[in-house]
Structure 1
């Protein structure tokens, strides 16, 4: 049982290793309109029954509790694909109305963002992270099993035009698939003023087909970039940010690499996660969850829900343990957990 003397301020989401979670990732749906090979099979997955997904009011209550009672300062809405959530703009507006106001971002494949960007900006969304792994339409279709590269590019443009800045791109390189695109992706980002982050592929696919041998490492990514650009370590403090960043050709443009597997940043992790069906997770790779939806629907008050959330975070492990022989991939894939 957590004790206040060990955990610090009573309202904080602290753990036994001195970390404080201030960044909440909220999955709004497990559904997606792409079928990216490193996330789910081409035929898709069984979606959560709608009655198991948190309602808009339930999402708003939990987000509000996190911000006003538990010290959360940043909200990232994810999926699945969060743009598929019908009440997204209202959920963003509810978060933006909280005091103290959190920073609000969205992780998306940007399909539909060309239409929704202005409304989301007006609702209070601050910025977006767009998943884009290739600039080749044929390769995009092979990776995502959908011919939608043009929609993603239009979504990026609309996000920038709406002022959802900085517009960030997340790219996963896969050996023998798109690992020749590190340089073209960075050139594309520089040309359009986007911020690019490469992410090592993690063992979160529904097929459980991940292997270290097929993963393109952070060091390999940097080596490829250095073949075309001069990279120098960013002097700005990294803090709890997952990406290590480098100045490109002296700056001010930067590129980031998230080496979640080979260069883990667990010791500085400040994240807590809420799934679309109301389960709170202390880590992306947790094999256990705490059911906040059940507490909500059983009539629990805010004190009881907040304490359950604190207890979950207090038990957070020191790291993800991917290199440990006893490591078990989470039973739920990334699409169900939330990015």
Structure 2
């Protein structure tokens, strides 16, 4: 993996050993993904093809022997195959790209202005509910704090708070994701951010029930999950068909346009020699692609960090950022 950093978590829990191929299936997760391009054909009474139905994503979420949840192949996947595409639960552009990308899907825009823009009426309509809340609030104090401190994750919390207040999302929508371990210093900083956020919202005439969810515990819990499950979105540009290996997209990726949290991609475990890769072509929709042939029952893994670093550096970053010691084959061999 190159410079694109995938910020997310490794789920760990005291589980009994499981047979990976057939025990304890959680669910197949198709609701937040698009189907693969391979199709099946049905026939009518004259034995002639009538229509084609796309196959579901060739994956399932199951329990691993040692790393909690993981994603496994339900059939053979070939190198270069697009496994699935995931839409974000939550996303927000960076400050530097705020006026250069669509405020909803993060697609780059050719018309650069000093105002919020949407790339299409569809994106504008999808953002209508939470954006109507955002527009009512003076965020200057909150944004200034985040800019000065170089913070990006609080922007996602702000977006989620507006989504919940507008009814566009549930306050518990991220609860299924594993939270990061927080130090006392981190919690104190989060409490300061929460005070700023609540102060901004309280200046607007919201109904009590609209912001009843907004507590210090909610803010810290959401931010703890975002910190370890957020992906840095780097648009590769070009057409998917032109990218034989997804590594090419990462190498030539431009600067980050935003950050996003996804459901299914957050369940992928880490490997310093991954068999799949996540890329962004035109917008925030994440595409997961096979880097090599993958057999049925094999776990699919991504790399959370820059895999070009040496073993010592990788171990340090993974432990400090994600709370685990990597024991993949590459690390065990000392590579």
Asked which structure has the greater CA Rg, the reply is 2
TM-score (ref. length: structure 1): 0.30
